[in-house]
Structure 1
Amino acid sequence: MAATSAPLSKPGSQGSSERYGSESGAEEKAQRATFEYFGWVYHLGVNSIGREYCHLRFLFVRGKYMEMYKRDPHQFPGIKPIRRGVVGYTLTVEELGRRKLNGGDIYVLRLYNRLDETRKGEIACASAGEARKWMEAFDHAKQQAEYELSRGSGARNKLNMETEINLEGHRHSVRRYAHGLKELIKIGQGPESLLRQSSNLGVKVRSDGYIEGDGGDAIEAHEWKCVRTIDGVRIFEDVAASQSGKGVLTKSVGVIDANADIVFEVLLNLDRHQRYEWDMLTVDLELVDSLDGHYDIVYGTYDPKYFPGWYSKRDFVLARQWFRGQDGTYTILQFPSTHKKRPPRSGYRRTKINPSTWEIRRLNTPMASNTARCLVTHTLEMPSTSWFTWKNNHHSKFENSVPFVLLCQVAGLKEYIGANPALKFEASTTVVHSTSSEVSVSNTEYEDTEVRDEFYDAIAGDSLSEDEDSDDDNDAELDNDAELDKKDKKVKLKNVSWAITSLALKRISALDANKELDPNASPVNVDPSQFHCSMHQGKDKKDTNCWTTLDGAGFMIRGKTYLEDNYKVMGGDPLLKLIAVDWFKADNTMNKIALHPKSLVQCEAGKKLPFILIINLEIPAKPNYSLVLYYAADRPVNKNSLLGKFVDGTDMFRDSRFKLIPSIVEGYWMVKRAVGTKACLLGKAVTCKYLRQDNFLEIDVDIGSSSVARSIIGLVLGYVTSIVVDLAILIEAKEETELPEYILGTIRLNRVKLDSAIPLQG
């Protein structure tokens, strides 16, 4: 059986599914390892009579095949799955965030076919960490399906026959193919722990080698200066923002010996007994409303001792918005809010809280270490007058101020988790090495027509059998506890002297990028003035509601030796030239823009261009918007290059390589934090549809297909007229021959006005 592109981890290591390591030689590694994921989840849905159900189920992911059981098949050999199916390349897994269950929180994942969203189903986990591990399992299953598909139908049939490998058999080719140990990756502790954790989350539970940096893929203008150190936590001031006179950004940064998932859970937990362990300021917190899985409203009161005076009782209403990036970093946005369920309270003074953010980022740990580590950053906006008064004149009073207590919450978290060993280890994954699967499925079973169904068909279940719908008593008898470990992989970004090397790196990048276009063809003149669009090109920095071009110096991309040392280098000039930008609005989403009769692609000048890349960013709102970017090449695409493989490749390949790096250059700091500067594989984050015809490739990016993306876009649109955003488009390099990366195209959008969008008319 072929497996994923992830390499085998060393025996005893944790969370091997996260150790992607070098991405070169993926096929060779896929032929050495067999990955099997299993664990307990909740199966959510609605049966044929409209009744909602939530069943405890044992889920098994074996290569591209997936099975669901009522009981753990390791403990009950011979038990038959109640649902079976395969993962296809069109499977999409969306995080729906937190949902209430029995007074506690679960984390819901929606599985659906991106070509037919009526084929869908939902599962849920007890923690954010387990949800993340299941997403990795599904991603590995998709890689398995893609690998088999790339080898053709004959190879696919062979792989189906070799799903369960008999190492004691006489087929030597099979033994060579199955070289190495199987990876049995267990997710979660078992049904009792799953039920206990999700239904009673409020129960009270009795920097060396680190290089400071945001770890982003775009260079930001912040200039952080450490102004104080308290209990191993550093407090910083953004000197650049302070000099602007628009307020002061401060942050506290600390390394916590725990998994990022654990810290995230602790921060979101509203239980007063747990918060009393680390939060000096807050007295009570109460959930007022949950708008979706990534957004809620909280009411709370403050400790009166920090508010001396006749009006000492203070309360507040807080909005929280959170999401997890593709690199596993959690971001929590907190800002003042109002709610009709919590009007001003007699005897209390309503306090408008300072906007703040939490960022929890995993750090590398030594291979032999059993301790996970994460970097926790709490950023806080403060009035400049108050900050400078405390900083320069009254140091003693600063210790008694509310901002100081808020910044000290990182230190409180660090000490609280350090005093509770049970919180230091993430109970998410156990890796077991085995020479044969403990749960065997015959080859003939995988030839059944039922297994050929996509898994979201199997998990959706329009109608439930009596056997499945009446098994609550049986579920209560399940028991499967286990000790769990995990090892996190975090890409390391090392510092270099850009002043010395930037010019050389630019030349290297440009030299390699030139190979992407046909070297034997004569370049044509690409003149943007020949093309008319709805958004005008800016004349200078003061111009607004416009777009401009820029080089790639503000973005960090993978260098020539990235697979060996994870070095990233400054980007060079983009390969393609931005020739036009359209800003459309419509009641419905707009796609296949290039086929529109009035599209610049259809004009005479557009037809003469060797190649045009159209990026259509579909933005959900009322009305819907489309930002359409047109990039042109002065020569035809080299079909043997990475760009050629992307342009004429499969949608699976495109989804796995289409990358975007965002950077808010100017704008409200919370918008900057929400958008971030990390590269995002758009094909894995949202639904992308590709249209390849004639001399163009159009990519329609449905931002509304992800609840997290919708949430971030909603925040951005509220400030869009005051922000300047840079974007870089790349094709991710995964093989040594594809390095160094190059930037495909860039754009700067300067304070775009929503009402300037024009209807796309026929």
Structure 2
Amino acid sequence: MKASSVVEATCEAIFELVMCMDGTRFEWDSSFQYGSLVEEVDGHTAILYHRLQLGWLSTLLWPRDLCYERYWRRNDDGSYVVLFRSMEHPNCSAQPGFVRAHIESGGFKISPLKSRDGRTRTEVEHLLQIDLKGWGVGYFPSFQQLCLIQMLNSVAGLREWFAQADETHTVPNMPVMMSISSGSVSSKMGGESHDNFNQSISLDEESDEYEDCLTLEPEEMMDSVDAENVMKQPDEDPLDQLDLSSFSGNLRHDDRDNIRDCWRMLDGNNFKVRSKTFCYDKTKVPAGKPFMKLVAIDWFKDVKRMDHVARRQGCAVQAASEKGLFTLVVNVQVPGSTHYSMVFYFVSKPLVSGSLLQRFVDGDDEFRNSRFKLILSVPKGSWKVRLIVGSTRCLLGKAVDCTYIHGPKYLEIDIDIGSSTVANGVLGLVFGVISTLVVDMAFLIQANTYEELPERLIGAARVSWLEHSSAIVPQLEPNTSTE
């Protein structure tokens, strides 16, 4: 079930209140009795213990409690997503006198709206699928639904809480939650988790508004806009005439809609990038046509991580080199009991000296790590995955370990998703259920100065309902990397 409401408060204030598990929660959540922290997994994920105050036939039915994983993220548009999923934990065993309910899926989505009459407005959506367990669910058919409605009414509670708050009222800080030990509840306060959580918020706020960009005076910028517009894309691009059949990739290319287990090229307009005037006004524009051409995608699997895949005989890199083209290879490595790699091959004409791409290819790892960016979105798939991913953009070199291999007429970037808990949580979730998703991915080199703007995509692709079974084990030559 789902409940939604418009709340006159900022996304940040609502998010902080939703995350609280202290006494302030009694003021807006009528189903809350007690909450505590079991484990802080990382800055975005925590395991919580939660007792429900359902108040329905309390003399006949045992009270319910929960042990669940809570994951949160902040999207580039300022919205927040908070997701819940029940789980077992050794330090959160069944409590005497309680029935352990089970959250199948649920969470909050907190999205900014346009202000009205000068008042900040935010839409809050609360989705919840829960099994309250116990014999009462079967004997009292209305028990499950009435309790669920009571829990979803917290959305109305949020609206009323902020409506009653005067202008001097401040939202409490991020919660200091009590820890829980195996089999019993402790009253010891977990102050360390509070500090870590506040720290994690600042680390997550890496939207473009907070990234470095050399700022020019408006007069300087406007005077040179016309001259800089010569960077517009040509009407005809020799890369458009490339015959993709000469490039091998085991994942099928199909530009038709609703075709499974394949990839297609995107024109880039569904991604937004920094405009020419971004350093002045922070505006973004549709990306438009990429400056490199995606010619093939490989979908690999193996019992170990697959590094330097460009050395494989017969791959797209060698075909491009024979045509005098440069190739950028992006190898997205997903760890697990079976390791997977999704490998993108982008080609271009020989590098232009002094261009951003040339400086990226020939630069050092520090420069590359500070510029290589991924934009990820899920246009089709389960609501849970779409809420988690949103429109994710990430400087990959700052989030995960990237290895750069510079060979003859190519640069390969091996992206180890498993090196970051947060990245592995987001991208690992996507790849784990990728057969049920349509995933859009774009790569670019971030522009930080006025001369480098506007940004252009390296390339973009849509991968539709990819099957794990279609991945193959690559035959890799002995590693002879130069970097």
TM-score (norm 2): 0.71
Residues 1:619 and 1:417: Cα distance change in structure 2 (over 3 Å): farther
1:359/1:378 contact within 8 Å kept:
yes
Q: 1:97 maps to what in 2?
A: none
- Cα deviations by residue, 1:566-622 (Å, 9 ceiling, x for unpaired): 22111212221111111112232222211233433234x543242111111111222
Q: 1:224 maps to what in 2?
A: none
Q: 1:631 maps to what in 2?
A: 346
Q: 2:292 maps to what in 1?
A: 576
Deviation at 1:374, TM superposition (A): 9.6
Q: 2:155 maps to what in 1?
A: 407
1:556/1:568 contact within 8 Å kept:
yes
Q: Aligned match of 2:366 in 652, 655, 658? A: 652
Q: Aligned match of 1:538 in 246, 251, 254? A: 254
1:379 and 2:125 matched: yes
Deviation at 1:410, TM superposition (A): 3.4
- The aligned amino acid for 2:66 is F
Q: Distance in 2 between matches of 1:381 and 1:715?
A: 19
Q: 2:312 maps to what in 1?
A: 596
* Count of residues in correspondence between the two structures: 410
Residues 1:742 and 1:250: Cα distance change in structure 2 (over 3 Å): farther
Q: Distance in 2 between matches of 1:510 and 1:409?
A: 52
Which protein has the larger Cα radius of gyration, Structure 1 or Structure 2? 1
Q: Distance in 2 between matches of 1:732 and 1:316?
A: 43
> SS of the counterpart of 2:353?
coil
Residues 1:307 and 1:288: Cα distance change in structure 2 (over 3 Å): farther
- Cα deviations by residue, 1:272-309 (Å, 9 ceiling, x for unpaired): x3422342221122445555564333332322346899
2:65/2:98 contact within 8 Å kept:
no
Deviation at 1:417, TM superposition (A): 7.8
- The aligned amino acid for 2:231 is D
1:535/1:547 contact within 8 Å kept:
yes
Q: 2:265 maps to what in 1?
A: 549
1:350 and 2:101 matched: yes
2:67/2:86 contact within 8 Å kept:
yes
Q: Aligned match of 1:616 in 331, 340, 353? A: 331
- The aligned amino acid for 1:734 is N
Residues 1:400 and 1:332: Cα distance change in structure 2 (over 3 Å): closer
Deviation at 1:693, TM superposition (A): 2.4
TM-score (norm 1): 0.47
Q: Distance in 1 between matches of 2:160 and 2:312?
A: 58
> SS of the counterpart of 2:433?
helix
Deviation at 1:253, TM superposition (A): 5.0
> SS of the counterpart of 1:690?
strand
> SS of the counterpart of 2:66?
strand
1:321/1:334 contact within 8 Å kept:
yes
1:661 and 2:375 matched: yes
Q: Distance in 2 between matches of 1:652 and 1:630?
A: 23
Q: 1:147 maps to what in 2?
A: none
Deviation at 1:722, TM superposition (A): 0.5
- The aligned amino acid for 2:159 is A
Q: Distance in 2 between matches of 1:639 and 1:721?
A: 42
Q: Distance in 1 between matches of 2:228 and 2:153?
A: 47
Q: Distance in 2 between matches of 1:307 and 1:408?
A: 23
Q: Unaligned regions of 5+ residues in structure 2, if any?
A: 130-144, 175-201, 210-226, 477-483
Q: Aligned match of 2:52 in 291, 302, 312? A: 302
Residues 1:399 and 1:569: Cα distance change in structure 2 (over 3 Å): farther
Q: Aligned match of 1:700 in 375, 399, 414? A: 414
- Cα deviations by residue, 1:424-457 (Å, 9 ceiling, x for unpaired): 799xxxxxxxxxxxxxxxxxxxxxxxxxxxxxxx
Q: 2:450 maps to what in 1?
A: 736
Residues 1:756 and 1:374: Cα distance change in structure 2 (over 3 Å): farther
Q: Distance in 2 between matches of 1:713 and 1:374?
A: 33
Q: 1:723 maps to what in 2?
A: 437
Deviation at 1:558, TM superposition (A): 1.4
User: What is the percentage of aligned positions where both structures have the same residue?
Assistant: 32
Residues 1:734 and 1:704: Cα distance change in structure 2 (over 3 Å): same
- Cα deviations by residue, 1:461-501 (Å, 9 ceiling, x for unpaired): xxxxxxxxxxxxxxxxxxxxxxxxx9x99767xxxxxxxxx
Q: Distance in 2 between matches of 1:533 and 1:541?
A: 20
- The aligned amino acid for 1:689 is T
Q: 1:479 maps to what in 2?
A: none
> SS of the counterpart of 1:637?
coil
- Cα deviations by residue, 1:497-536 (Å, 9 ceiling, x for unpaired): xxxxxxxxxxx99962648xxx9x9769422101222211
> SS of the counterpart of 1:664?
strand
1:316/1:353 contact within 8 Å kept:
no
- Cα deviations by residue, 1:336-362 (Å, 9 ceiling, x for unpaired): 44557545975748364651135588x
Deviation at 1:629, TM superposition (A): 0.2
Residues 1:374 and 1:642: Cα distance change in structure 2 (over 3 Å): farther
1:335 and 2:118 matched: no
Q: Distance in 1 between matches of 2:333 and 2:100?
A: 43
Deviation at 1:650, TM superposition (A): 2.3
Q: 1:207 maps to what in 2?
A: none
